[in-house]
Structure formats: structure tokens, C-alpha cells
């Protein structure tokens, strides 16, 4: 049974990648990219975990595989639902084009906030920065620092579309924030954000397609890098000071040996998920949304302002780690996540697929609106794509937790800084509205490429 479900999951992921890459812009769509994440990160771990599953755990491993397959399929359900709703649109939808100056002003403001957080973190004591787990003001600054992805997308978009000096300055400011994160600290999220913002900006600004051959060969390379990040970081920090590794040091790493196909030690996340499923089923323990509530409180209620006692009072005492240890004699590896699959199942059982449906629905709506010319939908989609792709590797509420910050910053920047629209808004929906905008800009007598003038 477990082999059948496992190969169904593998086949579904592979088919989704193939069908997505057949479309010109399919590699930009969330279902295609998340299928690559499942194929390159989830499936290999499940394959290795299966090798060591005992008879007692086999029942729960089947459940984990079934639920993982259900989560993957529910992503497509939510995506198609969201795209369909957005394409039908509302008769009163107004296709407005934000002005270049308004976008530039917002991009600089958000970039300034990110730089302020970067400088603030750099001024903290070195012993605090070197701690395994940050706390206090450092966690707040790092969380707000994540708005850099909004500035990155806007800067690339404006530089490609308008090619002005100011947009190039904004681009340099945003990229400078990412260079150390990618080349020295090897942050997975920064790598994903740089890739997604670049390819999305090329598409939304100029309809430029990256050759799919690069995407096809880049996926397995990306998977190897993701599993080898730990080795890269150890090289960068081996002298006590972080510095960029040399090419010789990077070539010396045996990346294949760090994948789940070569070692069982590369599967802590899906092992955590297996034990969460077992805890939920064997002991009839579900958190029913309390875990997601705790993550919101932990992220958005600063103990420095309200006090630790009030913050702890607002959170539910679930004791998941203690239950795993006391009831199943299991203690997870330090730094390993619960994964969205394990976390969602612990929350609501098989009804936990609602997290994946809701997330894909939101992304589908943004994609459809962005594809017909809505710059702000494109900004939301670009900033949300990395959290959406990372969500399976993190926890079930991860996407929504991050998008509360991004949504608040984008909406707040638009409200306070303003983004005047250019031209007169066009009433309509879908592609027809966008085509009327283009026809309004054409000179009299224009018939289009390849058309015949009567």
C-alpha cells in the first residue's frame, strides 16, 4: 500500500512539472514550482524514511504518504479555483496602472526600512548575533527585514520596464541586501526570492521567458544545493568569521552524499512529520488551530512591549514536544521543522488540506490578476511565492503568517505614500479590459502585427 501511494505521489509531481513546463510561462506558476519542491525535497525524504520504518510505524507512514498526496492534489484544486474566480472577475473591476513615480517612491521607502533593519542587526553585540536561537529585539528586526523581497521585486520590475537611473539605484540597493545572504550565509529563502523575483519581473514587465532548458537543469542543481547548504555554511564560518567560500572549497563538497538518497541523516523533517501523524492518530491528539494561533501570537506580539507573562497567557500550552518524548520516546533534531504536512495533520487530520487549498487559492487569484496587468497583484504574487514554496518545508500557517507582514507593508505604503494612476481607469474584467487599454494607446489606423487594413 505504501509503495503504491508513494509512486502515485512521485508520478503526480513529475507529471505536474512536465505539464507546467510545456506552457510558455508554466515555470512561473505556483503548481509547477511547488511540484518541483515536492519532487526534489519531499519525495527523497519519504523514500529514505521508508527504508527504516518499523512494523509499528508502517500504518502511520501510509497515512503520512496519503496525506502528503492529498496536500499536493489540493494545491491544484485551490489554484484552479482561485484562477477561475479571478478570471471571471467583477464587472466593476478597474484596471489601473500605478505611476512610475509612485512605484519608485514605494520601492525606495520599503528598501529604506529593510536597510534600517540590516543596520540595526549589525549594531547588536557579536555574542548575541552568534547565538543559535535569536531572541529579543533581534528577532523583531530580522522579521521586519524580510520586507526586502518587496523592494527586490519592485526594483527589478522598474529597472526592466523603465530603465531609468533612479530604478537602477533602487535595484542596486535591493540587490546589495541579498549578496551576503546568498554568497556568504547561504540562506535558502534568499536564494528562492532572488530567483522568483527575477523571472517574474522579466515576465510581468517585458514578457521575457527564461529558456526552459535552464529551468530543467536548474531544478536538480537547486535540490543538491538545498541539501548541501549546511556544508556550505560550515565552510563559510569555519574560521569564526563568515566569508565567501572559494570555488575549490565548493567543488570539494560531495553534494550527493548529503541527499536523502545517500544518507538517512538528511531526513529529519519528514521523520518529524511521521511522528506527528503517529501522535495524532495513536493518541487522538489534535490541536484544532491552536498551533497556528500560537505562531501568530509568537510572531506579532512582542514580549518587550506587552510583557512575557501576557504573551504566554495569550498562547495555548500544547506541549507537543513533551508529548512526543513522553508518549512516543521521540525527540526531534535541533533545527529541523515539522513540515506543513505533519503540522497540518496534527491540527485537523485529513481536513488539514484546507491550509494548502487556501494558500493555492490566494496565489491563483493573484496570478490571474497579475497576468492581465495588475502590478499590485504581481507584487503580492512575487512576494508570496517564496513563502508558498517554503511552506511545505516549514509549517502549515507559514505562508499566511508571512503574508500578514507583506500585505500590511504593501497596503500601508500605498496608502501613506500614494501611487497615482496613469491614464483613465478602464471598466471591465479579464483580458478584454486589458486589450481595451492597449487599443486606447494605439494610434489611429493601427491594425496590429500581421493584420490587414481593410
Q: Mind listing the pLDDT tens digit for each residue in 16-56?
A: 999 999 998 899 999 999 999 999 999 999 999 988 888 77
CA gap 255, 376 in Å, rounded? 39
Query: Quick one: cell of 36?
Result: 518541483
pLDDT at 441 over 60: no
Q: Which of 302-316, 355-369, 375-389, 436-450 has the lowest mean pLDDT?
A: 436-450
| DSSP H or E stretch at residue 359 | helix 354-371
Query: Quick one: cell of 111?
Result: 528598501
Q: Rg (Cα) of the chain, in Å, rounded? A: 23
Average pLDDT over every residue of 109-126: 90
- φ and ψ at residue 96, rounded to 5 degrees: -110, 140
Closest CA relative to residue 67, chosen from 343, 309, 383, 390: 343
- Coil, helix or strand at residue 448: coil
Average pLDDT over every residue of 172-198: 93
Percentage of residues of the chain with pLDDT beyond 70: 87
Q: Which of 67-81, 204-218, 240-254, 318-332 has the lowest mean pLDDT?
A: 240-254
**The residue to which cell 501576557 is assigned:** 310
pLDDT band (50, 70, 90) for residue 265: confident
pLDDT band (50, 70, 90) for residue 377: very high
CA gap 417, 104 in Å, rounded? 10
| DSSP H or E stretch at residue 281 | helix 268-282
Query: What pLDDT is recorded for position 429?
Result: 38
Q: Which of 161-170, 189-198, 420-429 has the lowest mean pLDDT?
A: 420-429
Query: What pLDDT is recorded for position 437?
Result: 40
pLDDT at 439 over 60: no
Residue 312: CA count within 13 A, CB half-sphere: 4
Query: Quick one: cell of 58?
Result: 508502517
What secondary structure letter does DSSP report for 147?
T
Cα dihedral 420→424→425→431 (10° resolution): -120
Q: pTM for the complete prediction?
A: 0.87
Query: Quick one: cell of 204?
Result: 510581468
277-315 pLDDT tens trace: 999 999 999 999 999 999 999 999 988 888 889 999 999
pLDDT at 423 over 60: no
Amino acid at each position: 500500500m505504501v509503495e503504491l501511494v508513494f509512486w502515485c505521489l512521485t508520478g503526480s509531481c513529475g507529471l505536474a512539472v512536465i505539464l507546467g513546463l510545456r506552457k510558455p510561462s508554466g515555470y512561473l506558476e505556483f503548481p509547477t514550482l511547488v511540484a518541483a519542491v515536492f519532487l526534489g525535497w519531499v519525495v527523497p525524504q519519504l523514500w529514505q524514511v521508508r527504508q527504516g520504518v518499523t512494523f509499528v510505524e508502517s500504518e502511520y507512514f501510509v497515512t503520512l504518504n496519503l496525506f502528503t498526496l492529498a496536500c499536493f492534489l489540493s494545491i491544484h484544486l485551490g489554484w484552479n479555483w482561485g484562477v477561475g474566480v479571478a478570471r471571471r472577475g467583477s464587472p466593476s473591476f478597474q484596471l489601473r496602472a500605478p505611476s512610475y513615480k509612485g512605484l519608485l517612491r514605494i520601492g525606495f521607502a520599503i528598501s529604506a526600512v529593510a536597510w534600517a533593519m540590516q543596520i540595526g542587526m549589525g549594531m547588536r553585540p557579536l555574542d548575541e548575533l552568534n547565538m543559535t536561537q535569536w531572541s529579543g529585539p533581534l528577532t523583531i528586526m530580522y522579521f521586519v527585514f524580510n520586507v526586502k523581497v518587496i523592494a527586490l521585486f519592485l526594483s527589478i520590475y522598474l529597472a526592466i520596464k523603465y530603465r531609468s537611473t533612479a530604478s537602477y539605484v533602487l535595484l542596486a540597493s535591493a540587490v546589495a541586501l541579498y549578496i551576503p545572504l546568498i554568497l556568504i550565509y547561504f540562506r535558502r529563502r534568499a536564494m528562492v526570492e532572488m530567483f522568483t523575483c527575477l523571472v517574474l519581473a522579466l515576465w510581468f514587465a517585458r514578457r521575457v521567458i527564461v529558456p526552459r532548458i535552464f529551468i530543467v537543469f536548474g531544478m536538480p542543481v537547486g535540490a543538491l544545493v538545498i541539501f548541501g547548504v549546511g556544508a556550505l555554511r560550515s565552510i563559510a564560518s569555519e574560521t569564526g568569521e563568515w566569508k565567501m567560500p572559494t570555488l575549490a572549497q565548493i567543488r570539494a563538497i560531495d553534494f550527493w552524499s548529503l541527499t536523502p538518497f545517500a544518507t538517512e541523516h538528511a531526513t529529519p523533517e519528514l521523520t518529524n512529520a511521521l511522528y506527528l501523524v503517529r501522535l495524532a492518530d495513536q493518541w487522538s491528539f489534535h490541536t484544532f488551530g491552536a498551533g497556528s494561533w500560537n505562531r501568530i501570537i509568537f510572531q506579532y506580539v512582542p514580549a518587550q512591549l506587552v510583557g512575557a507573562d501576557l504573551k504566554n497567557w495569550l498562547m495555548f500550552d500544547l506541549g507537543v514536544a513533551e508529548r512526543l518524548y513522553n508518549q512516543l520516546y521521540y525527540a526531534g533534531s535541533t533545527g529541523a521543522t515539522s513540515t506543513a504536512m505533519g503540522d497540518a495533520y496534527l491540527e485537523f487530520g485529513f481536513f488539514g488540506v484546507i491550509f494548502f487549498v487556501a494558500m493555492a487559492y490566494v496565489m491563483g487569484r493573484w496570478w490571474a490578476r497579475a497576468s492581465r496587468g495588475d502590478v499590485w497583484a504581481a507584487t503580492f504574487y512575487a512576494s508570496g511565492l517564496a513563502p508558498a514554496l517554503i511552506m511545505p518545508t516549514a509549517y502549515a500557517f507559514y505562508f499566511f503568517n508571512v503574508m500578514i507582514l507583506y500585505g500590511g507593508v504593501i497596503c500601508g505604503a500605498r496608502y501613506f505614500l500614494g501611487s497615482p494612476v496613469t491614464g483613465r481607469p478602464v471598466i471591465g474584467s479579464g483580458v478584454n479590459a486589458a486589450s481595451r487599454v492597449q487599443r486606447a494607446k494605439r494610434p489611429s489606423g493601427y491594425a496590429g502585427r500581421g493584420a490587414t487594413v481593410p
